């Protein structure tokens, strides 16, 4: 190979390398800036093909999409000094490339670490100004709006980051508080159960007492009615006996004696000790009535 050919090949390689280092492409999902000896000379480079000075200038590209910062669960205290475990996340993106690069050297890990600290501080301040009920339900939306506005103001000023939204994924009580709350709820439920049982026993005693009273009243009325009926029956029987006796006293006396004999000698084991001349045996003796 001749010297001219070698020289031409070298020149071609130099041209290719220079050309390769003279252009850069910014995609639709990126934001870019150009550095010259470490100093920003062009920022917020739009998408497309762009020219830069080879070996003198350097292009930096950053993700311009909506990013998610997922923080670890942190412990916060409410206005009444009650501990809460809060799990949150933030949605953010780069809106000022130069400020972002100056503050973080273009490293996403540094940006998220600083943003995480600011989010934790903002949550701590907002939770400390509210009660447990307000944090959990009463003012939860307002809490998120306030944290988003404060975090966006600080992050945009210090790092060129726009915070679009901050959300709480979960709010829980600490483990030790969970146990005490569970025990308190259990004791309250047991107390309510005892109250309900006591009311039930009281109501049952009242029902039993009323039933016993009604039973006694019913039995007394039934006994009274039975005695009245029995008295009426005895009166009618006595009247019938009296009428029968008046019609034929001798036959009635004989009939009553037969009934007495039948009842007295109904059992073979019965023993009756009487005087043979007793009035009881007068119909056996055939004696006349004196």
Examine residue 178 and state whether it is found in any structural domain, yes or no.
no
Q: Are residues 252 and 239 in the same domain?
A: no
Q: Are residues 74 and 169 in the same domain?
A: yes
pLDDT at 252: 73
Cβ neighbours of 212 (radius 10 Å):
10
pLDDT tens per residue, range 26-70: 888 888 888 887 787 787 788 878 777 777 777 888 888 899 998
CA angle 170, 133, 195 (to 5 degrees): 110
User: How many structural domains compose the chain?
Assistant: 4
pLDDT at 265: 66
Q: Are residues 131 and 168 in the same domain?
A: yes
pLDDT at 127 over 60: yes
Based on its alpha-carbon atoms, the radius of gyration of the chain, rounded to whole angstroms, reads: 57
Tokens describing residue 11: 């020149």
pLDDT at 164: 92
Examine residue 179 and state whether it is found in any structural domain, yes or no.
no
Average pLDDT, the chain: 81
For the segment 121-129, the average pLDDT, to the nearest whole number, is 88
Q: Domain of 196?
A: 192-247
* DSSP 3-state of 18: helix
Examine residue 167 and state whether it is found in any structural domain, yes or no.
yes
Q: Are residues 140 and 87 in the same domain?
A: yes
pLDDT at 290 over 60: no
Which of 3-7, 85-89, 165-169 shows the lowest per-residue confidence on average (mean pLDDT)? 3-7
**Structure-derived torsion over alpha carbons of residues 110, 113, 119, 120, reported in degrees to the nearest 10:** -150
- Nearest Cα neighbor of 107 from 68, 151, 63, 71 is 63
Handedness of CA 241, 243, 247, 249 (dihedral sign): positive
Q: Are residues 262 and 235 in the same domain?
A: no
Percent of the chain with pLDDT over 70: 80
Q: Are residues 239 and 277 in the same domain?
A: no
Find the CATH number of the domain harbouring 144: 3.30.479.30
Percent of the chain with pLDDT over 90: 17
Q: Are residues 50 and 89 in the same domain?
A: no
For the segment 7-31, the average pLDDT, to the nearest whole number, is 70
pLDDT tens per residue, range 155-205: 999 898 999 999 888 888 777 666 666 677 788 888 888 899 999 999 999
pLDDT at 217: 92
Examine residue 163 and state whether it is found in any structural domain, yes or no.
yes
Q: Are residues 162 and 216 in the same domain?
A: no
Q: Are residues 254 and 168 in the same domain?
A: no
Examine residue 187 and state whether it is found in any structural domain, yes or no.
no
Examine residue 254 and state whether it is found in any structural domain, yes or no.
yes
pLDDT at 236 over 90: no
Q: Is the distance from CB of 147 to CB of 166 less than 8 angstroms?
A: yes
pLDDT at 75 over 90: no
As beta bridge partners, residue 86 has: 74, 171
Q: Are residues 216 and 126 in the same domain?
A: no
Examine residue 129 and state whether it is found in any structural domain, yes or no.
yes
Residue 5: pLDDT band with limits 50, 70, 90: low
pTM metric for this prediction = 0.54
Q: Are residues 157 and 114 in the same domain?
A: yes
Q: Are residues 201 and 268 in the same domain?
A: no
Examine residue 229 and state whether it is found in any structural domain, yes or no.
yes
């Amino acid at each position: 190979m001749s010297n001219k050919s070698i020289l031409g090949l070298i020149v071609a390689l130099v041209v290719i390398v220079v050309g390769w280092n003279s252009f850069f492409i910014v995609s639709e999902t990126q934001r870019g800036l150009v550095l010259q000896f470490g100093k920003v000379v062009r920022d917020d480079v739009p998408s497309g093909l762009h020219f830069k000075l080879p070996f003198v200038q350097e292009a930096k590209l950053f993700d311009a999409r909506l990013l998610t910062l997922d923080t670890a669960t942190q412990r916060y205290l409410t206005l009444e000094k009650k501990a809460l475990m809060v799990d949150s996340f933030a949605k953010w993106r780069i809106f000022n490339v130069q400020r972002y690069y100056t503050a973080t050297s273009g490293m996403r890990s540094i940006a998220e670490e600083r943003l995480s600290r600011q989010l934790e501080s903002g949550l701590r301040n907002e939770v400390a100004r509210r009660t447990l009920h307000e944090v959990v339900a009463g003012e939860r939306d307002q809490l998120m709006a306030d944290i988003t506005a404060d975090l966006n103001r600080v992050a945009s000023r210090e790092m060129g980051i726009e915070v679009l939204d901050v959300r709480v994924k979960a709010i829980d009580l600490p483990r030790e508080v969970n146990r005490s709350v569970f025990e308190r709820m259990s004791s309250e439920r047991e107390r309510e159960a005892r109250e309900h049982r006591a009311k039930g026993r009281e109501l049952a005693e009242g029902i039993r007492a009323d039933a016993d009273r009604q039973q006694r009243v019913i039995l007394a009325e039934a006994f009274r009615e039975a005695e009245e009926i029995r008295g009426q029956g005895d009166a009618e029987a006595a009247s019938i006996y009296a009428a029968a006796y008046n019609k034929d006293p001798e036959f009635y006396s004989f009939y009553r004696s037969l009934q007495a004999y039948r009842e007295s000698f109904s059992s073979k084991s019965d023993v009756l000790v009487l005087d043979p001349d007793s009035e009881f045996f007068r119909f056996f003796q055939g004696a006349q009535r004196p």
